[in-house]
Structure 1
Amino acid sequence: MGIPSIQPYFMPRKDELPNNRMSWTLDPERAVLLIHDMQQYFLDYYDNQASPVVELLTNIRQVRARCTARGIPVVYTMQPSEQTPEERGLLLEFWGPGLTARPHRHPIVNELAPGDTDTVLTKWRYSAFQRTDLLGLMRRWGRDQLIICGVYAHIGCMLTAGEAFMNDVQPFFVADATSDFTRNWHEMAMTYVAQRCGVVLSARDVLDALGEGRAPFDLERLRSEVAELLELSAAEIQDGDSLLDLGLDSIRLMTLVERLRNAGIEISFVDLAERATLGDWWELLSPRLPQAHRPRSQGEEMHGVRG
């Protein structure tokens, strides 16, 4: 009885995702982001310094930031810290008392704390639609797509995707922004969703669908990328500001390096780690831009760096 201790495993890569039966496309005007049960209690069963949790937190944070920027509603589910045996029902037999045994671990993890405009729903069963107003909210908002992130992939996330489908809501299951007890359970959940009720995407797919990577890579795009990772507005980052003082850590820096490489810019973690400001980074990066990303007047762009 109860949740098992979860051993580290590698998060699925984009080239390891199952084939989707459907070719549905994410639309910012139709979508809602669901961050499912990302409470400290559920992450306590992992090694939070290892895969898949490191990638899980980074990817959810990126997806949430992009959804917020595009005006997509963000909904969290949280299981309550206090539940009577009647409220817990059959979950008590399967999993024991759950959060009621450790109510102090009830909050959403600090890295993903809900914002003032986000919606938080109390959740009582596996599916986020059961005994909540999620479907009603989506209908009032005129939205019929659900982006699903969180834990655990083969339990609440998968069953939420199934119930979304049964209510004519298109579910988009973000494979590397969900995690599970084991890699096998994770793969089972992905395969089921891809073949029976939704579309499985990577976090990068979601970012691309919501507007990532369409503009040339210039100083302002670099500023926007860094701002998203730091959960700030671009206007809050001046070229001479210390990015370390603004909250840059090694995980965010590794994520940025991967984004730059995806844009065709060859750079290493060490290259960026040795420099502390956006202006320094742009001075380093601009000569390495692929031709397709070079600004028309790169000299002017360089001289326009704000100190």
Structure 2
Amino acid sequence: MDITRENTALLVVDMQNSFTEPKGSMAAMGLPHEELRPAIAGCRTLIDAAHAAGVPVIYTRYIFQPGYADGGLVPNEIVPAIKEVGALAAGSWDAEICDELTPAEGDIVIDKSRPSSFYGTRLEPILTGLGVRSLVICGVTTNICVETTARDAGQRDYATHVISDATAEFDKARHDYALNGIGFIFGWVNTVDEVVRAWA
């Protein structure tokens, strides 16, 4: 399926200091944050292209309330290091969008406490209000929040395009595995250049 400007939104998933910065909480947990930084340039190009084409830009932020009451099993049981280092705490620098991708006036920011951008958020009502039926998805991490969001989008019959060179994962094998799964049944895998040409 072709990428179009009409009825399309750009979804920028979790490009936060926690994931991209050396002083962020993922680095503090010993995860290779530097593996995620290559997604920044691709996201920047897509955001600029969307603004120029009049395509709505929607950001998500993975954020936990004080005490991780909304965190569920992930910070409280499966990955307790998240809680130990205070990762992604509401109101913290760690939870903010990285400086290179600061939202512009008119961009939409949606907070979530689960990998999917749809679960327990305002995303779907906003997409409905904007008349969106096609999503271009970029951000991190490919195998967790991007893939979970893409699966949920595909199951809701959004034409879903995940951008291979504007997404990143801590481990390249998981990045590739996620893209293969998305492209097999949930949507399409595209490149930044393909999107820019479509929106030019």
TM-score by length of 2: 0.86
Q: 1:195 aligns with which of 177, 184, 190?
A: 184
Q: Which SS does the other structure have where 1:160 is aligned?
A: helix
Q: 1:119 — aligned with what? A: 108
The yes-or-no answer on 1:72 pairing with 2:55 is: yes
- For residues 121-200 of structure 1, the aligned pairs below 5 Å read 121-200=110-189
Could you tell me how far apart the structure 2 residues matched to 1:52 and 1:89 are? Answer: 25
Closer, same or farther: CA 81–124 of 1 in aligned 2, 3 Å = closer
Q: 2:2 — aligned with what? A: 25
Closer, same or farther: CA 204–106 of 1 in aligned 2, 3 Å = same
Q: 2:11 aligns with which of 23, 26, 34?
A: 34
Closer, same or farther: CA 47–79 of 1 in aligned 2, 3 Å = closer
5+ long unaligned stretches in structure 2: 22-26
Deviations 1:237-284 (Å, cap 9, x if unpaired)? xxxxxxxxxxxxxxxxxxxxxxxxxxxxxxxxxxxxxxxxxxxxxxxx
* Bigger strand fraction: 2
| Aligned-pair CA distance for 1:100 | 3.3
Q: 2:24 — aligned with what? A: none
Could you tell me how far apart the structure 2 residues matched to 1:52 and 1:163 are? Answer: 23
Q: Is the CA contact (8 Å cut-off) linking 2:36 and 2:140 kept in structure 1? A: no
- For residues 1-307 of structure 1, the aligned pairs below 5 Å read 24-44=1-21, 45=27, 46=32, 48=34, 53=37, 55-80=38-63, 82-92=65-75, 93-96=77-80, 97=83, 98-100=87-89, 103-211=92-200
| Aligned-pair CA distance for 1:56 | 1.5
Q: Alignment length, in residue pairs?
A: 185
Deviations 1:153-185 (Å, cap 9, x if unpaired)? 000100100000111111100001000011100
- Structure with bigger RCO (C-alpha 8 Å, 6+ apart): 2
Deviations 1:79-101 (Å, cap 9, x if unpaired)? 22534343111122222223239
Could you tell me how far apart the structure 2 residues matched to 1:196 and 1:32 are? Answer: 21
Closer, same or farther: CA 47–197 of 1 in aligned 2, 3 Å = closer
TM-score by length of 1: 0.57
Q: Which SS does the other structure have where 1:84 is aligned?
A: helix
Q: What RMSD in Å do the two structures reach over aligned CA positions?
A: 1.8
Closer, same or farther: CA 101–33 of 1 in aligned 2, 3 Å = closer
The farther-off stretch of 168-177 and 103-112 is 103-112
| Aligned-pair CA distance for 1:102 | 10
Could you tell me how far apart the structure 2 residues matched to 1:75 and 1:153 are? Answer: 17
Bigger radius of gyration among the two: 1
Could you tell me how far apart the structure 1 residues matched to 2:10 and 2:48 are? Answer: 11
Could you tell me how far apart the structure 2 residues matched to 1:193 and 1:142 are? Answer: 23
Could you tell me how far apart the structure 1 residues matched to 2:168 and 2:156 are? Answer: 24
Closer, same or farther: CA 101–72 of 1 in aligned 2, 3 Å = closer
Letter in 2 for 1:58: A
- Percent identity among equivalent residues? 28
Could you tell me how far apart the structure 2 residues matched to 1:173 and 1:101 are? Answer: 27
